[in-house]
Structure 1
Amino acid sequence: MVIMGKNQRHVVMVPWLAFGHMIPFLELSKALAARGINISFFCTPRNIEKLRPKIPPHLTSRIDLLGFPLPPVAGLPENAEATADLEQDAVQHLKKAYDTLQEPLEKLLKSTSPDWIIYDFAAYWAPPIARKFGIPCSFYSVFNAGSTYIFGTLSERSVRMGRPPTAENLADVDWFNFPSAVRYKLHEAGRLCSGLGRNASGVSDEERMESAIKGCQSLLVKTCMEFEGEYIAALQYLCQKPVIPVGLLPAAVEEEQASRVSNPESVACFRWLDQRDPRSVVYVAFGTEARLSKEEIQAIAVGLELSNLPFCWILRRPGHVSASNATAGGGDDKEDDVDDPLPPGFRDRMAKRGFISMSWVPQVKILAHRSIGACLHHAGMSSTVEALQFGLPLVLLPMVFDQGLIARLLVEKNVGIEVEKDDRNGRFSGSEVAKALRLVMVEDEGKLILEKVREMKSSVFDNQELNDGYINRLVKLISFQGKEEAEERAAAGNSG
């Protein structure tokens, strides 16, 4: 339990139970804790066990990870506490279980009297509880400003009309009153629409988002004016309340790059990278939430082979692949295993040119390695920030949620290229993957992208002073406004 002094500020964090949400909340928690603010991180036991190692030792006394068990819910498998544990159609049952955490949150606020609450979209019930105790609250959108604007607009319209839009209507919208490439493709709109509307929790995602925006005093977004100024302005106009960029929260890279690279797969990976030429290798990874089909994995493999470029591929084990085949680095021959998602003979053919792993490796350290020249990934915002922090051009292959919107923003900013997909079904070919890779790594157009990436690296993504400034302004807001609110609560108590 965090021990707080009389004048120390205390913030309660309430993330949604997806690692694409919990990790940005933890990043913000660490940034605030490093500036003297005490954090209560409201979560569940199994997720906390996975998050705990991500907290640096010097911050453990300021970040209290609080695990509240979820009750059994029909349709929710035992021990499933995060979206990564579930197929997409079962996430609705996790939301139903998540909504039962209202009571422990209320007890926590009553017993600790924090100065501020920062909550996620799914915790639409947090603002009424905060108001009950007179505690100011902010909605922290882990999406970038442009995506948050689209989600907010979509939610408002859906709730007002009483029904979600059609995919055709959603893909045909010009969302902004200025020139913008940020929009859905038809296959993305179709996937999004299939998940809208009421679910097993009784509350749609559109209702959660609308309530989350309406209930806050301010909206926090992981972005900055220097990168997304026009989209931040649009979001503030939509919300009619302060929108506070918290910066990009670039990853901290330890001075000794190999200090925590201890598992055999990581050692093998860095040994392989050390033998490659500077900026010659494509790093390939698709995050924790995207579940690639065997067809998609094989198309990526074909693209890597056709590109004729060295690559380091961290391949998250698909659900149909057995654990016995989960570690296969370098040229290990696993093609006889019927569970192998890669094309027959691929590992043998790529033994010298590629490193393939289905085990965990330290992504930030890999991206910082001198041999990495570009990144092929899913356009998730956290991975995007990490890649641009190290000056790496992007080859974008969005898979789920807001990733298509982010991909179009990044292409608009000229820091990457998106792999072409069929607009109606989202399929892509190996030749399109290879084409995008070679454009970024080999052709003249790639030099222009690299030049822009290096400019953005120095001015924005690896500009510690710039990003620190955003966190420092948030700390001042919490310290001063939180103090005023606390004094008002104390005065009201005394008068009572």
Structure 2
Amino acid sequence: METPKLTHVVLVSSPGLGHLIPAVELAKRFVLLYNFKVTVIAVTSQTSRAETQILDSVLTPSLCHLIDIPSPDITAFVAQNDAVVTRLCVVMREARPAIRSVLSEITPRPSAVIVDLFSTETIPIARELNILGYVFIASHAWMLALLLYSPVLDELVEGQYVDQTEPIKIPGCKPVRPEDVLDPMLDRNDRQYTEYLKLANGVLQSDGVLVNTWEELQREELEVLREGGALSEALNMKIPIYAVGPLVREPLLETNSSTELLVRWLDQQPSKSVVYVSFGSGGTVSSEQMKELAWGLELSEQRFVWVVRPPTEGVADAAFFTTGSSGIDEVGKYLPEGFVSRTSEVGLLVLEWAQQVTILGHRSIGGFLSHCGWGSTLESVTNGVPLIAWPLYAEQRMNAALVAEGLGLAVRPRVLPTKKVVRREEIAEMVREVIEGVEGVKGNRVRERVKELQKSAMKAVSKCGSSYVALSQLANRIAG
């Protein structure tokens, strides 16, 4: 009797939790649903405690094979003030020899390579080795549409995007306000813009694109991307688009003392009474904004868990490549005098990083003041937690526009937090809105809408749901 063919899939992830976590969750689906052998090639920053925890706790040898490639030394190829997008692109470019070596030597021979957005230069390597090459977009379909149309916009739009007086049009999609464009589009003279355009072209060289969304959430955007859709026609794009999300983490079974203390504190709070405040693994705010945020939380008179790190001035993603080793005394000097003692009974400060899925899944959490990274947004939705949208960098302004205005999942400040300091009174008002919620007001409508989409998300990934079917179609194509 002939032995069944073992299908081997390789996933390539660039540094950063926003890239690594969804890649890990995708890997788990291939193993658990289709019994594929999966190898994850993770190019890691070597500075993130959170990265290490995710890899150690999730990628067990029985589930996936992990190949950890330390981030190459790129000091000769970047300037000190180069943006994160530039650095990520250069890191993954310099990692190509190591990735090529792995793909050439691992057994059984991979049937497909699935790369994240910053790893698209691996697609030509897959081609040379006669391996199918796919791109996994860890964000949503509207962002993908803007990305793919950007080389056309580069020719059509004169001057800076942020100086345009009209929204930026994408065939078949909702237009994008100039202030909501992706970070690399903020300055067309910056090196990250050139790198960004290369990424867009790299996606189009693939055999298909996976998107971390689901059909019912973004049907219109997905249809314009597929063959026959307005954007697909404009780009002469014929590659399949697979909506396979939401790909989110499950709570980790951790026993470290800080997580235990946090959960014990949450256990003592009333249901849906706590606002969780976190700007992701890379986000930071200014010292003035940090003080206003503290005052706003105190004025709201609501319970809170706040993941704090030292402020920075003018660089919202300053923590992306840092180690995160500050102590409570260092952080405390940036908070209002007496804040820690005054709020000790209603608030909890967590240094640098926390087990976010454990927190969001707790019954006491009633709202999430978030940087609107797409992974965090999906974790909030799948736990039925309404959002306060506080975008900082990358595609987060676009995400905030989508969740607040397009989907009705969030309240948001009247001005972009990266443009102007959000004052304590407005912060207190937003926190009360999502936690207290009064019948007929926006906070209540947001909570109801989140519950609707929580059910929709769970249905999409369950057996016979839209994302389950899409991933099965891809798996069948890979298995041949």
CA distance in 2, matches of 1:349, 1:110: 60
Please say if 1:285 is aligned against 2:278.
Answer: yes
Counterparts of residues 31-110 of structure 1 (less than 5 Å): 31-35=29-33, 36-44=35-43, 46=46, 49-55=52-58, 57=60, 60-74=61-75, 89=83, 92-110=86-104
Is there any run of 5+ residues in structure 2 with no aligned partner, and where?
A: 314-318
TM-superposed deviation, 1:96: 2.6
TM-superposed deviation, 1:192: 3.9
Please say if 1:227 is aligned against 2:217.
Answer: yes
Residue 294 of structure 2: which of 301, 317, 339 is its match? 301
Q: How many residues align?
A: 451
State whether residues 286 and 312 of structure 2, in contact with CA within 8 Å, keep that contact through their aligned partners in structure 1.
no
SS at match of 1:227: coil
CA distance in 1, matches of 2:91, 2:40: 18
CA RMSD, 1 decimal: 3.3
Q: Which moved more, 1:280-289 or 1:343-352?
A: 343-352
CA distance in 2, matches of 1:368, 1:423: 27
Is there any run of 5+ residues in structure 1 with no aligned partner, and where?
A: 78-85, 329-333, 485-496
SS at match of 2:381: helix
TM-superposed deviation, 1:225: 0.7
**Displaced runs of 4 or more, over 6 A:** 161-164, 319-325
TM-superposed deviation, 1:146: 0.7
Residues 366, 422 of structure 1: alpha-carbon distance in 2 compared, 3 angstrom cutoff: closer
TM-superposed deviation, 1:396: 0.9
TM-superposed deviation, 1:302: 2.0
Q: Which moved more, 1:359-368 or 1:417-426?
A: 417-426
Aligned position for 1:28: 26
Residues 482, 407 of structure 1: alpha-carbon distance in 2 compared, 3 angstrom cutoff: same
CA distance in 2, matches of 1:279, 1:229: 31
State whether residues 171 and 189 of structure 1, in contact with CA within 8 Å, keep that contact through their aligned partners in structure 2.
no
Aligned position for 1:470: 467
State whether residues 40 and 66 of structure 1, in contact with CA within 8 Å, keep that contact through their aligned partners in structure 2.
yes
Counterparts of residues 211-222 of structure 1 (less than 5 Å): 211-222=201-212
TM-superposed deviation, 1:195: 5.3
Please say if 1:452 is aligned against 2:455.
Answer: no
Residue 199 of structure 1: which of 187, 191, 194 is its match? 191
TM-superposed deviation, 1:227: 0.8
Aligned position for 2:133: 137
Aligned-residue identity in percent: 23
Aligned position for 2:151: 155
TM-superposed deviation, 1:18: 2.6
State whether residues 461 and 468 of structure 2, in contact with CA within 8 Å, keep that contact through their aligned partners in structure 1.
no
Aligned position for 2:355: 362
For normalisation by structure 2, the TM-score amounts to: 0.83
CA distance in 2, matches of 1:212, 1:51: 28
TM-superposed deviation, 1:114: 0.8
TM-superposed deviation, 1:94: 4.9
TM-superposed deviation, 1:266: 2.2
TM-superposed deviation, 1:272: 2.1
Q: Which moved more, 1:317-326 or 1:383-392?
A: 317-326
CA distance in 1, matches of 2:209, 2:177: 24
Please say if 1:436 is aligned against 2:430.
Answer: yes
Amino acid at match of 1:245: A
For normalisation by structure 1, the TM-score amounts to: 0.81
TM-superposed deviation, 1:296: 2.4
CA distance in 2, matches of 1:287, 1:474: 28
TM-superposed deviation, 1:102: 2.1
Amino acid at match of 1:39: V
Please say if 1:172 is aligned against 2:167.
Answer: yes
State whether residues 249 and 467 of structure 1, in contact with CA within 8 Å, keep that contact through their aligned partners in structure 2.
no
TM-superposed deviation, 1:481: 2.8
Aligned position for 1:490: none
State whether residues 167 and 190 of structure 1, in contact with CA within 8 Å, keep that contact through their aligned partners in structure 2.
no
SS at match of 2:65: strand
